[in-house]
Structure 1
């Protein structure tokens, strides 16, 4: 089975991750879930259910040196939702968070990676955000941002059509097709 690392940061769409896991599994993916520490705190009560659903531990922290990896190797990585902070940390190589460290290393390992930001229009106006998106794209990351991907909403609002999870899973399938 083809392994998808599904990573999420602390933005409201992360609360939909169980449904996304089920959709990815229906598409043939073996899903391993990684979360930023804040996203893990937001989903705290759901973590046992999410571990049962994926069949793997949910990770939000680095393992200790010498500990075996509890996940199979990734065939593809999907980082969604990717917050303003996560996108900027990743682009700049600031890897204090587990999920950011893994996606930063994935560039060098040439693991196909998709990112779908989730930022409001105020964050999107910050010049570093666009530099970070451009930098990630130049590193080979598929970033679904702008037309045909995530388009920013006003602060405090959600897009009526919802977060583009279907586009995220389609993009992951396009870069590394799951086993049937």
Structure 2
């Protein structure tokens, strides 16, 4: 089924278009693909980027925070880089261009998600303490993309490179994966005789 990609806020898109139109921003991007590509570049597939603030191990609602929007930068029919925007006190602003494994992993996960029998709204969910990024497939396709928390029936797809113990590109229900993440992030209990 097709994914229901939400539109990005107009200021976020404008900030990326302005950065793409700036020879200084592209030259200083430190992404070889952007520096060497010939022809027009276009920002596509805007994905809201959330950070998991508090995972749960026992059924409580996870806390997430919208931190930005990520656009895949296309040249022709392929993504050559990504652009991030961030929320500032003055609104959405361009943050950075980048390329690397998460770019190709995101494209792969989006292609996999399009083959699912159900429609989803794609988002990204980062777990900074585990150096983990997931494609979050939100089952409410009409949801406001700047709001919400992962619902138990939503899917999370860890992107490669995934941390040890998590299979990259394997979809998991939120109700199954978030408790595991919570356990991995929980402080371990001190051993007897060990100072706390």
By the TM > 0.5 criterion, same fold? no
Structure with the greater alpha carbon radius of gyration: 2
Give the TM-score normalised by structure 1. Answer: 0.24
Larger proportion of helix = 1
Structure scoring higher RCO (CA < 8 A, sep ≥ 6) equals: 1
Larger proportion of strand = 2
Give the TM-score normalised by structure 2. Answer: 0.23
